[in-house]
Structure formats: structure tokens, C-alpha cells
């Protein structure tokens, strides 16, 4: 099959962008390959560490994250990216294929998420962080839902400035791991776009409170702690003098809600 040079150039550009974007794993144990009419996502046996990840769960989660980066870049270039997970049972190392279909009109949210891929991921929660507001949590829950996963808030922990949430999928198959990776990446990028720092762990099954917020058949895939950064300008406005003239000059301060 002959692929137009413009399409192949776009595909190669997408691969470069997806590789450069942040993912949920330190080691990129996957690789993209441009073939006739498709972009293939393969597990990379040379970088795969079976001792640390014998079932390959972390590999699939990280690969799902890379797929999100690829799709977002495709949207910026005006391409509709059609993804098939695990398309060939006879080739288990082939994790997914991406086909650049018709024209796509990029949305504002896609622009924000793509811009978030260019920003460094925070290595520690912000010092001035607070628990995200519920409407922000709901937006992150919607981000997970769009990728076929669910995000459940957990009861507050000891650290009152962080909101714990658990990311779940229906089932615990390889395809579910890939969906979980896509959902986790979209949640992380959505958080970055909303000044929400997130730390996460793949060990979520035995966390207290998880069983109380999940339903039978849901499998916990990741535990996240979310902290909303408060810009310095906003912090200066947390306490302001009262606006009532009768208190003017008395030096009282009140919290602005």
C-alpha cells in the first residue's frame, strides 16, 4: 500500500511528539513504528523489565499514556486518530494501532491538554496547595470516563490538603490496563491544565476506603493524590481588610470566600 508523503510525514511527526511527551513510567518500554497507513505501538523487549513488572501491567499503563500524547498531537494537526487496542492476537507485542482518518476540528480542551504535555510534571506537591474544589474533581472524573475508566474520590486522609482518588476499570485484562493508562494520562494532563499537582501509585487495591467507593467488577488500577496549587497572587487575597466602611481603620482581617 502506497502512503502519501504528507500523511507519512504527519505520522512521523506524531511519533516524535508522543515520544517526547511525559508518560506515567520512567522507562519507555514501548516504541512507535510507522507502517503502511498505520502507526503501530509495540512493547519494546529490550527496555522491558520483567523482574519489576512480571505481568507487564506497568508497561501497558505507560503505553496507554503514550497513546494519549499521540492522539492529542494528531488533533492539533487536524487528524482524527482511530485507535485499536491489541489488534492482532498472534502478535502480543503489538499493543495498539493508530490510523489517521478524516479531518478533525481541534477543541479547546484538546489544545489545553496538548499544551500540558509540554510542561514539566511537578516532582512534589506545591507548598501552598489545597484540596481541589469539587467541580475540579468532577472534571477529572469526566476525563477518566472519556477513556473508559472511572475515578472515585476517597474519604479525606491525614493530609487535609490532598484529595485521594482511585482510578478503576471494568476488569483486569491487558486491554483494561491500556485503557487505564490512557485514563491516567488524561487525568494527569487535565490536572496540569487546571494547576492540580498529582502523585500516583499503581498499588491501589489494598488502600483503606477503596472497597467502599467501588462496585463489584471494578478493579483499582492507580491511587492518586491531588493538590490544587494556589498562585501567589491568590494567596495574597486570602485575607483582606473588610470592605464595610464602619470597620475602616480598625485593622480587622477576614477570609474571602
CA distance 49 to 174: 17
In the predicted model, is pLDDT for residue 79 greater than 70? yes
Is 248 a domain residue? no
Q: Are residues 67 and 141 in the same domain?
A: no
Q: Are residues 73 and 169 in the same domain?
A: no
Rounded alpha-carbon distances, angstroms, from residue 112 to 72, 106, 107, 116, 183: 10, 10, 9, 6, 16
Is 251 a domain residue? no
pTM, two decimals, is 0.84
Evaluate whether 193 touches 115 at the Cβ level (below 8 Å).
yes
The whole-number pLDDT of residue 58 equals 87
Q: Are residues 220 and 175 in the same domain?
A: yes
Is 101 a domain residue? yes
Domain that holds residue 52: 5-116
Q: Are residues 49 and 94 in the same domain?
A: yes
In the structure grid, which three cell numbers stand for residue 66, read together?
A: 503514550
Q: Residue range 116-130: average pLDDT?
A: 73
The whole-number pLDDT of residue 257 equals 33
In the predicted model, is pLDDT for residue 153 greater than 90? yes
Average pLDDT, the chain: 83
CA distance 233 to 242: 18
Q: Residue range 143-154: average pLDDT?
A: 97
Examine the fold and report which residue of 88, 116, 144 is the final residue of a domain before the chain moves on: 116
Is 237 a domain residue? no
CA distance 53 to 25: 12
Give residue-wise pLDDT tens across range 4-57. Answer: 556 677 788 788 877 766 666 656 788 999 998 899 999 987 777 767 778 889
CA distance 176 to 184: 12
CA distance 160 to 157: 6
Provide the phi-psi class of 122: left if phi over 0, else alpha when psi is between -120 and 50, else beta.
Answer: beta
Instruction: Determine the 3-state secondary structure of 146 from DSSP.
Output: helix
Examine the fold and report which residue of 82, 116, 150 is the final residue of a domain before the chain moves on: 116
Give residue-wise pLDDT tens across range 105-115. Answer: 999 999 999 99
Is 226 a domain residue? yes
Q: How many CB atoms lie within 10 A of CB 188?
A: 27
Q: Residue range 232-237: average pLDDT?
A: 46
CATH number at residue 194: 3.40.109.10
In the predicted model, is pLDDT for residue 254 greater than 90? no
Q: Sign of torsion, CA 169 172 175 177?
A: positive
Is 90 a domain residue? yes
Domain count for the chain = 2
Evaluate whether 255 touches 239 at the Cβ level (below 8 Å).
yes
- Residues of the chain with pLDDT > 70, as a percent, come to 79
Specify the DSSP class assigned to residue 21: S
Q: Are residues 111 and 14 in the same domain?
A: yes
Range from 127-131, 177-181, 189-193, 241-245 carrying the lowest mean pLDDT: 241-245
Q: Residue range 99-106: average pLDDT?
A: 92
164 bridge partner residues = 225
Amino acid at each position: 500500500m502506497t502512503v502519501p508523503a504528507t500523511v507519512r510525514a504527519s505520522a512521523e511527526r506524531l511519533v516524535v511528539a508522543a515520544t517526547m511527551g511525559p508518560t506515567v513510567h520512567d522507562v519507555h518500554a514501548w516504541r512507535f513504528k510507522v507502517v503502511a497507513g498505520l502507526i503501530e505501538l509495540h512493547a519494546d523487549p529490550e527496555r522491558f523489565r520483567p523482574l519489576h513488572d512480571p505481568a507487564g501491567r506497568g508497561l501497558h499503563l505507560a503505553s496507554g499514556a503514550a497513546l494519549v500524547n499521540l492522539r492529542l498531537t494528531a488533533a492539533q494537526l487536524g487528524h482524527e486518530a482511530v485507535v485499536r487496542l491489541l489488534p492482532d492476537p498472534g502478535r502480543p507485542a503489538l499493543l495498539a494501532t493508530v490510523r489517521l482518518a478524516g479531518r478533525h476540528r481541534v477543541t479547546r480542551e484538546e489544545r489545553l491538554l496538548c499544551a500540558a504535555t509540554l510542561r514539566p510534571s511537578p516532582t512534589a506537591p506545591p507548598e501552598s496547595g489545597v484540596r481541589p474544589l469539587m467541580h475540579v474533581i468532577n472534571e477529572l472524573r469526566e476525563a477518566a470516563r472519556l477513556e473508559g475508566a472511572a475515578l472515585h474520590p476517597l474519604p479525606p486522609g491525614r493530609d487535609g490538603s490532598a484529595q485521594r482518588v482511585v482510578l478503576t476499570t471494568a476488569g483486569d485484562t491487558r486491554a483494561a490496563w491500556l485503557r487505564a493508562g490512557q485514563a491516567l494520562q488524561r487525568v494527569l494532563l487535565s490536572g496540569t491544565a487546571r494547576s492540580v499537582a498529582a502523585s500516583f501509585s499503581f498499588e491501589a487495591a489494598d488502600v483503606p476506603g477503596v472497597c467502599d467507593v467501588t462496585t463489584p467488577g471494578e478493579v483499582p488500577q492507580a491511587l492518586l493524590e491531588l493538590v490544587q496549587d494556589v498562585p501567589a497572587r491568590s494567596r495574597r487575597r486570602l485575607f483582606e481588610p473588610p470592605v464595610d466602611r464602619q470597620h475602616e481603620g480598625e485593622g480587622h482581617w477576614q477570609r474571602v470566600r
